[in-house]
Structure 1
Amino acid sequence: MSGSAMARELTFGAAPDLRRIYASALVTGRATSGPLPDVRAVRSGIGVDVGNLVDYARLCGFTVGAALPLTYPHLLAFPLQMALMSERDFPLGLTGAVHLENAITATRPIAVGESLDLAVWAENLRPHRRGQQADLVSEASVDGEVVWRGVSTYLSKGTEHPDAAPSEPPILEPLQDAAAGPRWRIGEDAGRRYARVSGDWNPIHLHALTARPLGFPTAIAHGMYTYARVVAALAPVLPASGLTSRVWFRKPVRLPSTVHLRSAIASDHTLSRLASAKGDIEHAVVEHSW
């Protein structure tokens, strides 16, 4: 486990209420300028709600089976991430935070009936050309064994750093010869549907009326929803263990939209591009390796 042994712990017996966290962030709208706090958010003995799991799988396109979908533990860790970011001494503002990237490493499949312990902390505060960014690290353990790890990179816009090194996705030339993949119509209600299963009621995803005051002309799809759709589409060719999945979020998917997935598949990796139906807007790049 990373982090200081003396880190302060925020212990939760149930998932933090994201609606309350977002409402508080909208009122306070604060961010400090100091270092990342030495604090961890933890929750133990988590049993999966099978009904919620089935709803999530159906919404995102996963087949319901004996193991959790690769992206599902993020759903459990996300409220802890937001609770941590809402702390008074956290240097990135929660309101308007942009999810830039996400990386998941699965050591082994997680059975639906297994009890999970979660720990979340922040690390690697660094400049971004549009502000500051940091990684929220989430680890899921079973009986003391880390079986799943997620790293979510968030940007808080502010003082610009034009010389900051960008994080770029892999070169996409192999996709020029890739066979055409599925097209999906992402409906106007996609944000509300995903919020019902994830608990992520961020107003930028719910309706144009709640997104516009935050700088978006329409509601936008949750990044982790479109990412999950890509992972689900590729699931038949992905191994059950020893897998690393990474997504670079590029341009938001405005609701409603039609998107198109193209993938290049090799013996030890896949590379995918999710773009607008016309191909002129790149929404996400997803890479799997094993």
Structure 2
Amino acid sequence: MTKEITLDGAPDLRRIYATAALRRGNASDTLPDVRYSRAGIRLEVDDVVAYARVCRFPVTGTLPPTYPHLVAFPLQMSVMSGDRFPLPLLGAVHVENRIEVVRPVDVHEPLDVSVWAQDLRPHRRGRQVDLVSEVGVRGEVVWRGVSTYLSRGAEHPDVEAVEPPSTEALTGVSGGPVWRLGEGTGRSYASVSGDWNPIHLHALTARPLGFPTAIAHGMYSYARVLASLGPRLPAAGLSSRVWFRKPVRLPSTVRLRTVFEPSRSLSVLENVKGDIEHAVVENTW
């Protein structure tokens, strides 16, 4: 039977990250049957505006398509930091994300959020798991998200990899916006998202976790892509998927290239030389 845990407020992510260093996960092949929820969440308009400005979304009366992830993310961390969760939180790599915007969400609407883990499975380089989030308004599901995390460990070379769609259609697309991401990009995003994972904050805190420099949050890069494409994406009925390929080291300069088809767009975020893919984003509607 699923254990339902209802929280009155948002978990403290800094505390979760601080205590996560003491957890190493376990060898279990099962996930805890637990669901974390919050009900009637009232957003602060100033917080939404600050997020929109950092990620370059227009400031309107509705939530940016990636903003509900921020509301669900602390609950994801609560699930992953639990004693019975089989994968360690620190060192987990966000490799893929899917969102479905059922309809626009007004910034003043009260949100109900539920999060749970599912589909623990082998990966060529370890194990991965999906964290599923649903956001509702008065009983109506208005947004869904699936975040896939990889924990490196025992390798499974026979496992078939889930690859992003081919970017061959982008071969002839040479133009696109170029962004300079400064050394403090991770700290700026953490200040509006609450995601204070040390790999994003400074080279000194990233190096003990295996990164020579701080790296940009994957959801920041993803949000920047969707903000750039925003005028050409529908406000409702949008399904979006991102594959995180290579981390964006900070500071860095990146370029976005996109091709549009009927009811679909395909984008690649890459370094300016075009020889490193950081993310592939597919939108359908």
**Shorter-chain TM-score range:** over 0.9
- State the partner residue of 1:239: 234
Q: Contact 1:96–1:156 at 8 Å: present in 2 too?
A: yes
- State the partner residue of 2:109: 114
In terms of mean alpha carbon deviation, does 174-183 or 244-253 score higher?
A: 174-183
- State the partner residue of 1:271: 266
Query: Aligned-pair distance for 1:31?
Result: 3.3
Q: Which amino acid aligns with 2:105?
A: I
Q: Which amino acid aligns with 1:120?
A: V
1:14 aligns with 2:9: yes
- State the partner residue of 1:67: 62
- Counterpart pick for 2:143 among 116, 140, 148: 148
- State the partner residue of 1:27: 22
User: Where do 1:1-290 residues align within 5 Å?
Assistant: 6-178=1-173, 180-290=175-285
CA deviation profile, 1:218-272 (whole Å, cap 9, x unmatched): 0000000000000000000000111100000000000000000000012200000
Query: Aligned-pair distance for 1:120?
Result: 0.2
Q: Which amino acid aligns with 1:105?
A: E
Q: Contact 1:43–1:119 at 8 Å: present in 2 too?
A: yes
What is the TM-score when the length of structure 1 is the normalising length? Answer: 0.97
How far apart, CA to CA, are the structure 2 residues paired with 1:32 and 1:65?
A: 46
In terms of mean alpha carbon deviation, does 178-187 or 69-78 score higher?
A: 178-187
What is the TM-score when the length of structure 2 is the normalising length? Answer: 0.98
* Structure 1 runs not aligned, ≥5 long: 1-5
* Structure 2 runs not aligned, ≥5 long: none
Query: Aligned-pair distance for 1:62?
Result: 0.2
How far apart, CA to CA, are the structure 1 residues paired with 2:252 and 2:164?
A: 23
Query: Aligned-pair distance for 1:32?
Result: 4.1
Percent of matched pairs sharing the same residue = 65
How far apart, CA to CA, are the structure 2 residues paired with 1:277 and 1:236?
A: 24
Q: Contact 1:36–1:125 at 8 Å: present in 2 too?
A: yes
The total of aligned residue pairs comes to 285
What secondary structure does 1:19 align onto? helix
Q: CA RMSD in A?
A: 0.9
How far apart, CA to CA, are the structure 2 residues paired with 1:15 and 1:274?
A: 32
Q: Contact 2:25–2:85 at 8 Å: present in 1 too?
A: no
Q: Which amino acid aligns with 1:55?
A: A
Q: Contact 2:23–2:88 at 8 Å: present in 1 too?
A: no
Q: Which amino acid aligns with 1:71?
A: T
